[in-house]
Amino acid sequence: MAERIPIASDHAGFELKEKIKRQLTALGFDVQDLGTHSPDATDYADYAHPLAAEVERGEVRRGVLLCGTGLGMSYAANRHPHVRAAVAWTPEIAELARRHNNANVLVLPARFLSDSDSAAILKAWLDTPFEGGRHERRVGKIELENGG
C-alpha cells in the first residue's frame, strides 16, 4: 500500500505545494492535501497544526509543509511532541535533517526556492535514512518528557 503523506501550505506556499504534490504522486505516494486550496491569504498555523497532529499521533510517518520563509510553519509544527520539522533550503540541509535529526516534517521556504531546488530538496529528504547511534540519544533529548 502506498505511504500516505500529508502536505499543507499557506498562500505563500500554495503554488509550490501544487508542484510538490505532483512530484509526490509521481513517486508513488498517496498525497493528502490539507490545504490551503487557493492563493488567498491565510494563516500558516491553521495548516501546520492539523498536519503536525497527524505526525504526533503516529498516523503518518512524515509530512510536508510550505510557507514563505518556512519559519512560521516550523514554529507551529514543532510545538507538537515527537514532531521534528526542519526548514531545508538545500538538498544537503535536507539530507542532514534526516541523517542527524530524524526530521519527520520537511518545511520548504517557498518564496526562496526554484522548482528544481525544491524538487531536489524533497528527494533528498525522502530518500535519506536516520543514522541513529549517537544521534538517537540527541534526538531523544529534544522531548521535554525526557527531562529537557
* Site for ligand RB5, rule CB under 6 A: 10, 12, 44, 67-69, 71-72
Q: What CA–CA distance (Å, rounded) separates 4 from 105?
A: 13
Q: State in angstroms the smallest separation of the CB of 101 from ligand RB5.
A: 20
* Contacts by residues 74-77 (CB-CB < 8 Å, ≥ 24 positions apart): 74/105, 74/107, 76/44, 76/45, 76/48, 76/49, 76/52, 77/48, 77/49, 77/51, 77/52, 77/105, 77/107
Nearest to 62 by CA among 35, 93, 31: 31
Q: State in angstroms the smallest separation of the CB of 110 from ligand RB5.
A: 7
Q: State in angstroms the smallest separation of the CB of 40 from ligand RB5.
A: 12
Half-sphere exposure of 75 (CA within 13 A, CB side): 8
Per the annotation, the verdict on 67 as an active-site residue is: yes
Choice among 37, 49, 82, 100 that is catalytic: 100
Per the annotation, the verdict on 80 as an active-site residue is: no
CB nearer to ligand RB5: pick between 36 and 102: 36
Catalytic residue numbers, as ranges: 67, 100
